[in-house]
Amino acid sequence: MSFTEHLIFWTAIGFIGAGIFASFFEWTLHRYFMHRPFLNFRYAFQAHAVVHHHTFKADHTYHLIHDHDKKTIPMAWWNGPLLIFLGMIPALALAWSIGRWEFMIGAFLAFSSYYGAYEYMHWCMHLPKARRVERSWIFYRLNGHHLLHHRYMHKNYNVVMPFADFCLGTLLLRSKIKFAQARGEAVPDVQPRLN
């Protein structure tokens, strides 16, 4: 293999591997830090489970009602660099152990893209504006997935790629009971199916 082929190969391996790892990283962060206090660290729990989930429920309040609540949709500005850095630590250890630093390029691109996708999709979910992304099939499905998380806080921890929800048994595709659900063209019907 030429240098360019090695670079492309290991960058692709890094991107795919880190993308899968990012799903588990998001799941772990969401479940163990954002939905319960972790030791004396309460910031993520307070900002997410207490404030965000109190403001945005699975009913009509799933979408922004009061303009001043916009600040509760995204994570704090400093979370992005911190989370990307933390997610990159295992990638760095793996790249060092196999001697393939090209792996880090793909991993960095994956983690950065994942975090950006998380923030943008989460913003669009709670503040819909009929954007092009909101008309896509994947957004439609992920929006329903996230709506169910706002109804059942201990299910559907992933926002971007529910692979970890699937693997770890927290994936919920439809509600078990009927509830007053948010409406909108980008929000699928997640009510129980009539048999």
What are the angstrom distances between the C-alpha of 147 and each of 87, 98, 166, 175? 26, 41, 16, 10
Specify the pLDDT at position 1.
Answer: 82
* 50 within some domain: yes
Give me the phi and psi of 41, to 5 degrees please. -90, 105
Number of residues in the chain: 195
* 152 within some domain: yes
Specify the pLDDT at position 3.
Answer: 86
* 123 within some domain: yes
* 116 within some domain: yes
Which is nearest to 171 in space by CA: 179, 160, 163?
163
* 120 within some domain: yes
Q: What residues make up the domain containing 35?
A: 3-168
Between CA 103 and CA 50 the distance in angstroms is 38
Beta-bridge partners for 41:
38
* 97 within some domain: yes
* 191 within some domain: no
Between CA 86 and CA 90 the distance in angstroms is 8
The pTM for the full model equals: 0.94
Q: What is the DSSP letter of 33?
A: T
* Number of domains the chain is built from: 1
Between CA 146 and CA 126 the distance in angstroms is 10
Buried-state track 87-109, b at ≥16 Cβ within 10 A, e below 16 = bbeebeebbeeeebebbbbbbbe
Specify the pLDDT at position 195.
Answer: 61
Answer for the pair 182, 58: CB distance below 8 angstroms, yes or no.
Answer: yes
| pLDDT single digits (tens) 126-149 | 999 999 999 999 999 999 999 999
Low-confidence stretches of the chain (pLDDT beneath 50) = none
* 32 within some domain: yes
